[in-house]
Amino acid sequence: MRNPPRLSRLYEATEQVITIEKDSPPRILFSGEDLLLEDLPVGTRVVYPRPPVEGLPNVKSAVRWALNHPEGCEPLHAKLRPGMKVTIAVDDISLPLPPMRTPDVRQTVLEILLELLADSGVDDVHIVIAIALHRRMTEPEVRRMVGRRIFEAWWPDRLYHHDAEDPEGLVQLGTTEHGEKVVLNRRAAESDLIIYVNLNLVPMDGGHKSMATGLTSYQGVKANHTPAAIRKSWSYMDPPRSELHRSVDRVGRLIDRELDVFHVETTINNRMFDGPLDFLVKREEDFVEADRLKFEGMRALLKRLPRAAKRRMLHAVPAAYDVIAVHAGRTEPTHKRILEASYAQYLVDVDFQADVLVYGIPYISPYNVNSILNPLLVQVMACGYFFNFYRGKPLVKKGGTLIVTHHCSDEFDPDQHPSYIEFFHRLLPETRDSALLEQKYEREFAENPSYVHMYRTGHAYHGAHPFFMWYWGENGRQHLGRVIAVGSDNEHVPRLLGWDSAKTLSEAIDMARSVHGRGAEIALLHHPPIVMTQNLG
């Protein structure tokens, strides 16, 4: 006969949504570089990620198979001929998060591609890191991503960053039927074949977005990264319902008409943490004594370390991701296959919308690898990424309250995010209106010669990047009635973001209940790892 605890464990392991009861354990939430242990009100629904999909047993053979059995076109080797000019574009380390354990899947794909190209007599090959308006990576970061062997042979002459501000290095391919200018990296545009090596972390990545965004200029990004496009994106994790993606697709289709582009797309499971941090990907109900000890030890350590040391330590822990799918070929059919695999990992069906949504904001985002999650990026994670982790209806009702846990320190990295500082301290006190910011200040920041110079020669994000980060939260801001930051170490950051603040989670929930009533429906989106809700009702 089964005993009740085992039955309970079986139930918890198969259901992704758990309802908090009187004797439920407290939940772990990230708050920047710290971990919180919080009791949630009875009746709160906790949405957990799916367990990791099993990884491919042999990634190299999967890559080779994909190259030989592409979607919608002839195999890669049939496209190659001696003397042709080939450009390989590759995603930067803004994903996955945290960076994956070596060898990075990009290294695996590149090694196979370079061998195939050499065997086919293709010598004129360049590898361009498609950073768009992101920061240039440091040499150790590039070496880690592509592997020592490729780095030493190719860097910096034939392996380098795309430069979105090099007037000589860009070319305009045309204009879409909607008037979007299509600007592309000159080397790629003048190649006989472009091979794009991508890594999909979430469903908004990849497809036409790889070429249309990764290898373009400020003008190219500007064509679709606008407040108006974001307002019409429900959500940008659901490309067919995202205006941003509709625009990107138009640009990408024009590129595909003009150039021969072969995509190699990959995606990974959600095994974000393992070893001493594996308790982070377990449900609190499943904790054994060892998990509690690991958690308590880690929490105590993090409490005692200075923030910079905590950050350095957490950024140094790579993720144990497994590759779960590799597909290659023409843009759209290839991306369709990858999206299926990505959704299978992340989507959790729900049939409700909450009045109050809670989530912890971690220490990392796509835009602060090895750096600080500054207040603007906290906003991106809260109102942008995490809010957009849905298909169908958002997890929180229109006008609902979002509660986030983060210290919201007024701390910026002046080398990586110089224009963010000016945006936050000079512009936000004047207005939070995205349309006004776009119209009045975006061009000034984009053209600021200091920011341009830091982007091109240092490791700084483009001057206009903080604007896109602010727009990124636009549909969240439009939808949410209120955002409450829990645990902020100052008053002015939440205020500049237009948020309220509370000292504790229970205080924040009381504040939310004062608006939505005692019977307010509360939900917790339990990150990490990544989870997306699907509510098609």
Partner 1 sequence: MAGGEACKGAFFDVDGTLVRTNLVHAFGFYAMNQGSILGTAWQTLRTVASIPLFWATDKVNRKLFNELFYRYYQGQTEDRLVVLAEELFQEVLRPAIYPGTPRLLDEARRAGCRLVLCTGALDLTMRPLARHLGVDDLIANRMHFVDGVATGRVVPPIIEGAHKALAIRDYCLRQGLALEQSHAFSDSFSDYPMLAVVGHPTAVNPDLRLRGVARAYEWPVVSTLEG
> Phi-psi category of 179—alpha, beta or left, where left has phi over 0 and alpha has psi -120 to 50?
left
Assign 104 to helix, strand or coil.
coil
Choose between 190 and 415: whose C-beta lies nearer to partner 1: 415
Least distance in angstroms from the C-beta of 305 to partner 1: 23
Least distance in angstroms from the C-beta of 217 to partner 1: 12
Least distance in angstroms from the C-beta of 165 to partner 1: 7
Choose between 136 and 245: whose C-beta lies nearer to partner 1: 136
Q: Which amino acid is at 64?
A: R
Instruction: Label the pairing between strands 482-486 and 396-405.
Output: parallel
Choose between 209 and 417: whose C-beta lies nearer to partner 1: 417
Least distance in angstroms from the C-beta of 67 to partner 1: 37
Least distance in angstroms from the C-beta of 433 to partner 1: 22
Choose between 80 and 421: whose C-beta lies nearer to partner 1: 421
**Residues 6 or more apart whose Cβ sits within 8 Å of residue 156:** none
Listing DSSP states for 387-403 in one string gives TT-EEES-SEEEEEEEE
How far apart are the C-alpha atoms of 465 and 469, rounded to whole Å?
6
**Residues 6 or more apart whose Cβ sits within 8 Å of residue 307:** 32, 33, 409, 411
How far apart are the C-alpha atoms of 478 and 476, rounded to whole Å?
5
How far apart are the C-alpha atoms of 390 and 469, rounded to whole Å?
19
Choose between 191 and 448: whose C-beta lies nearer to partner 1: 448
**Residues 6 or more apart whose Cβ sits within 8 Å of residue 153:** none
Least distance in angstroms from the C-beta of 469 to partner 1: 17
Least distance in angstroms from the C-beta of 418 to partner 1: 5
Least distance in angstroms from the C-beta of 362 to partner 1: 26
Count the neighbouring beta carbons within 10 Å of the beta carbon of residue 232.
Answer: 16
Handedness of CA 366, 270, 216, 336 (dihedral sign): negative
Choose between 389 and 441: whose C-beta lies nearer to partner 1: 441
How far apart are the C-alpha atoms of 150 and 138, rounded to whole Å?
15
Choose between 452 and 523: whose C-beta lies nearer to partner 1: 452
How far apart are the C-alpha atoms of 36 and 441, rounded to whole Å?
38
Q: Give the residue from 109, 78, 88 showing the smallest Cα distance to 188.
A: 88
Query: What one-character DSSP code corresponds to residue 124?
Result: E
Least distance in angstroms from the C-beta of 449 to partner 1: 4
Least distance in angstroms from the C-beta of 452 to partner 1: 4
Q: Which amino acid is at 269?
A: N
| Contact between 188 and 106 (Cβ < 8 Å) | no
| Contact between 35 and 313 (Cβ < 8 Å) | no
| Residues binding partner 1 (CB under 8 A) | 165, 167, 414-415, 418, 421-422, 425, 444, 447-454, 456-458
Choose between 280 and 469: whose C-beta lies nearer to partner 1: 469
Q: Where are the beta strands (DSSP E) in 273-353?
A: 323-329, 347-349
Least distance in angstroms from the C-beta of 461 to partner 1: 12
Cα separation of the two ends of the chain: 39
How far apart are the C-alpha atoms of 106 and 147, rounded to whole Å?
9
Choose between 446 and 483: whose C-beta lies nearer to partner 1: 446
How far apart are the C-alpha atoms of 271 and 116, rounded to whole Å?
31
Choose between 276 and 458: whose C-beta lies nearer to partner 1: 458
Listing DSSP states for 153-175 in one string gives HHTTTTEEE--TT-GGGEEEEEE
Choose between 362 and 418: whose C-beta lies nearer to partner 1: 418
Least distance in angstroms from the C-beta of 218 to partner 1: 11
Rounded to 5°, angle at Cα 113 from 112 and 115: 65
Assign 500 to helix, strand or coil.
strand
Choose between 279 and 412: whose C-beta lies nearer to partner 1: 412
Least distance in angstroms from the C-beta of 493 to partner 1: 15
Choose between 35 and 452: whose C-beta lies nearer to partner 1: 452
Q: Give the residue from 417, 438, 447 showing the smallest Cα distance to 134.
A: 417
Tell me the H-state helices in 147-277: 148-154, 186-189, 208-214, 218-222, 227-231, 243-258
